[in-house]
């Protein structure tokens, strides 16, 4: 943490603050030393810790799966190969049961989403003081290690899914079919403004719900770990271990939900009314 003499309130605020880089009001560029400085940097500020861990974990995912693919063996499969095959079969089966169109992109996309989100969520099991304390020793004031507790990251992923939804909706149904879905249902051509309002809200709610569901669950989990860390040492262990075991379920479940909703939304985009 930044200081051993932090109050409980300061401790919580410190651990919920991202390492933000951007332009200060005086025109200089640098790291924000507090929430007020970060807010003053505006929209174009970058959360360096979120970028570091999300990109790093994405590279780790690619490296592990590529390593397993290069050393694949039918006779003597390694533990890594067995794990990768299990993940691929699990995701492939989920796609076959949920996606009703024909698209070779969906299964790899679902696999990437599930494993990547799971790895980012998994960082929530790292002790809350460990990496931030190491960062403080190196002169880094803030260091959040769970990318999915940053709304910018979850919104970025959900907006990417939203772009795919719109793209495949137009590709499969055409521009007229896509516009017709938004304007002619459920009440027909005489209620076009009302139809557009209902369908437009429903369409925009998809990326918002994806982002907020993942962010809210992981943010709450991180906050509980931080609150436990404030308590006396003995109580910390009595509470943190059961919560960590339960949180493993949350970590896996949220990655699975994000993947499944992505598949469902893209399946809906492929359905031609």
> Per 3-state DSSP, what percentage of the chain is helix, strand, and coil (rounded to 5)?
75, 5, 25
Task: Please tell me the distance from the alpha carbon of residue 248 to that of residue 30, in angstroms, as a whole number.
Answer: 36
Q: What are phi and psi of 28, to 5 degrees?
A: -80, 160
- Catalytic-labelled residue, pool 103, 152, 160, 213: 213
Residue 97 in tokens: 């049961």
Catalytic (active site) residue 217: yes
* DSSP label at residue 147: G
- Catalytic-labelled residue, pool 54, 94, 217, 240: 217
Q: Which residues contact 142 (CB under 8 A, 6 or more apart)?
A: 2, 14, 17, 18, 19, 20, 49, 132, 135
Q: Which residues contact 62 (CB under 8 A, 6 or more apart)?
A: none
Token pair 């521009």 in the structure block, residue: 175
CB atoms within 10 A of CB 147: 30
Classify burial at 117, counting beta carbons within 10 Å of its beta carbon; exposed 0-12, middle 13-18, buried 19 or more: buried
Given a contact cutoff of 8 angstroms between Cβ atoms, the answer to whether 130 and 137 are in contact is no
Task: Please tell me the distance from the alpha carbon of residue 21 to that of residue 132, in angstroms, as a whole number.
Answer: 17
DSSP string, 218-247: HHHHHHHHHHHHHS-HHHHHHHHHHHHHHH
Catalytic residues: 209, 213, 217
């Amino acid at each position: 943490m930044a200081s051993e003499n932090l109050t409980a309130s300061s401790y919580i605020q410190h651990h919920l603050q991202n390492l933000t880089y951007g332009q200060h009001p005086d025109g200089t560029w640098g790291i924000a030393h507090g929430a007020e400085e970060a807010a003053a940097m505006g929209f174009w500020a970058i959360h360096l810790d979120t970028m570091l861990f999300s990109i790093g974990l994405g590279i780790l995912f690619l490296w592990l799966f590529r390593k397993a693919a290069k050393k694949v063996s039918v006779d003597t499969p390694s533990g890594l190969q067995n794990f990768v095959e299990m993940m691929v079969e699990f995701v492939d089966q989920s796609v076959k049961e949920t996606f009703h169109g024909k698209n070779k992109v969906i299964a790899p996309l679902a696999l990437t989403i599930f494993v990547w989100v799971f790895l980012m969520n998994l960082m929530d099991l790292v002790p809350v003081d460990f990496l931030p304390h190491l960062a403080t020793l190196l002169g880094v004031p803030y260091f959040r290690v769970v990318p999915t507790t940053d709304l910018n990251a979850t919104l970025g992923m959900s907006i990417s899914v939203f772009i795919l939804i719109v793209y495949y909706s137009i590709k499969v149904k055409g521009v007229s079919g896509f516009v017709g879905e938004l304007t002619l249902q459920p009440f027909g051509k005489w209620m076009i403004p009302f139809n557009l309002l209902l369908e437009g809200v429903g369409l925009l709610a998809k990326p918002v719900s994806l982002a907020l569901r993942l962010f809210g669950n992981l943010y709450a989990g991180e906050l509980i770990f931080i609150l436990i860390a404030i308590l006396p040492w003995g109580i910390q262990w009595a509470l943190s271990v059961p919560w960590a075991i339960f949180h493993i379920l949350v970590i896996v479940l949220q990655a699975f939900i994000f993947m499944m909703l992505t598949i469902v939304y893209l399946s809906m985009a492929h359905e031609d009314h």
